Chain A
C-alpha cells in the first residue's frame, strides 16, 4: 500500500517535472515568435469592403472563412444528434421552480430576446453576431426551461427538427445557391452579400439558440438504465 503510494508520488513528481519541461519549452517557443509580420489583419481590412459587412470579425466568420462556420454549425448539429441519440428526448417530469426564478425568468426572458436581436443586428458592423446572439437566445431558453416551460409536444416533431437543422441547412442552401447562380461556393456577390449574411445569421441565431437549449435539456436523462 505504502509502496503504491510511493510509486504514485514518484510518478506524479515525474509527471509534474515533465509537464514543467513542456511548459518551459512552449513558453520559450512562444517568446521566440517574432510578431513583426502580423497575420491576415491587413488583408482582412483590405477586403472588408467586398465582404458585405463592416465588422472584420463577422466578415471573417461569415464570409472569408464562412466555410469554417458552416462546418461549425455541423459540429453543433452533431453534438445535438449525439445527445439525442444517447438519451432520446428528455423527460418532462421536473420539479417546479422557486418563485424567485419564476419572476426572474418572466423579467429576463424578453430582455434576453431583445439583447439577442440587438447582437445579431449589430454584428454587421460592431462586436456581436450570430453565435453571441444565439447563445443569448439559448440562455433564454435555458432560463425558460428552468422556470418549468416545456416545448409543446406538438412542436417536438418535424418542426423542432427543422429549427435545429435550419442554421446549417440555410447556410448550405445559400452557399450552394451561389454555386448555381454562377458564383463559387459561398461566394456572395458584393451587392447582396450583406443581406445574405444577415439571412444566414438570423436563421443561425435561432437555430443555435434552440440547439444550445436542447443540449441543456438533453443533459437531463431519466435515471436508471433506459432501453
Chain B
C-alpha cells in the first residue's frame, strides 16, 4: 500500500525535476530529455496509483494509457530530435534563439 504512494510521489518528484530542468537548460537535447523525464513521472503517477488495491489485480486501464503515452512520447521525441538537428543546421545553435523581432 505504502509502496503505491512512494512511487506516486516519485512520479511527482520526477515531474517537477523534469520541469525544473526544462526551464533552466537552454540546450535543446537537454530539454527533450527533461520532457521525457517529466513524462515518465506522469506515467508513474498513473500506474502507481492503479496498483492501489493490493488484493485485486492492478487496474489495466492506466497501463494501457501509459503504453499509449509511451508511444506518443517516442514519436514526439523523434520529431523533436530531428527538429533540433534542423535548427542546429539552420542557426548553428543548439538552443532556441529569438530572432523574430526586427
Classify A-B as touching or not with yes or no (CB < 8 A).
Answer: yes
Give how many A residues have a beta carbon under 8 Å from the other chain's beta carbons: 51
Closest to B73 in A: A75
With A and B bound together, what is the CA distance between A78 and B71 in angstroms? Answer: 12
Interface-forming stretch among A59-67, A98-106, A110-118? A59-67
Q: In the complex, which residues of chain A have a beta carbon less than 8 angstroms from the beta carbon of B5?
A: 30-31
Q: In the complex, which residues of chain B have a beta carbon less than 8 angstroms from the beta carbon of A181?
A: none
Tally of contacts, chain A with chain B, CB under 8 A: 128
With A19-B16, A30-B49, A40-B61 known as contacts, the answer to whether A35 contacts B74 (CB < 8 A) is no
Within 8 A of B (CB), among A10-47: 12, 15-16, 19-20, 22-23, 26-27, 30-31, 33, 35, 38-42, 44-45
B59 to A218, Cβ gap below 8 A?
no
A148 interfacial contact with B, CB 8 Å: no
* Interface range, B side: 35 or more
With A15-B23, A78-B75, A225-B89 known as contacts, the answer to whether A35 contacts B4 (CB < 8 A) is yes
A144 interfacial contact with B, CB 8 Å: no
B20 to A33, Cβ gap below 8 A?
no
Main secondary structure, interface of A, reads helix
Task: Kindly provide the distance from the CB of B58 to the nearest chain A CB, expressed in whole angstroms.
Answer: 7
B26 interfacial contact with A, CB 8 Å: no
With A and B bound together, what is the CA distance between A40 and B53 in angstroms? Answer: 12
With A and B bound together, what is the CA distance between A195 and B98 in angstroms? Answer: 53
Q: In the complex, which residues of chain A have a beta carbon less than 8 angstroms from the beta carbon of B78?
A: 79, 83, 215-216, 218-219
Q: In the complex, which residues of chain B have a beta carbon less than 8 angstroms from the beta carbon of A41?
A: 50, 53, 56-61
Q: In the complex, which residues of chain A have a beta carbon less than 8 angstroms from the beta carbon of B85?
A: 219, 221
A218 to B62, Cβ gap below 8 A?
no
Interface string of A188-227 (1 = CB under 8 A from B): 0000000000000000000010001001101101011100
Task: Kindly provide the distance from the CB of B61 to the nearest chain A CB, expressed in whole angstroms.
Answer: 5
A75 to B82, Cβ gap below 8 A?
no
Task: Kindly provide the distance from the CB of B64 to the nearest chain A CB, expressed in whole angstroms.
Answer: 4
Task: Kindly provide the distance from the CB of A141 to the nearest chain B CB, expressed in whole angstroms.
Answer: 13
Task: Kindly provide the distance from the CB of A78 to the nearest chain B CB, expressed in whole angstroms.
Answer: 7
Q: In the complex, which residues of chain A have a beta carbon less than 8 angstroms from the beta carbon of B13?
A: 23
Most interface-central of B56, B57, B64 (chain A CB within 10 A): B64
Q: In the complex, which residues of chain B have a beta carbon less than 8 angstroms from the beta carbon of A82?
A: 79, 82-83
B61 to A65, Cβ gap below 8 A?
yes
Interface string of A171-201 (1 = CB under 8 A from B): 0000000000000000000000000000000
With A and B bound together, what is the CA distance between A149 and B57 in angstroms? Answer: 44
Interface string of B18-61 (1 = CB under 8 A from A): 01100110000000000000000000010001101100111111
Interface string of A46-64 (1 = CB under 8 A from B): 0000000000110111001
B71 to A68, Cβ gap below 8 A?
no
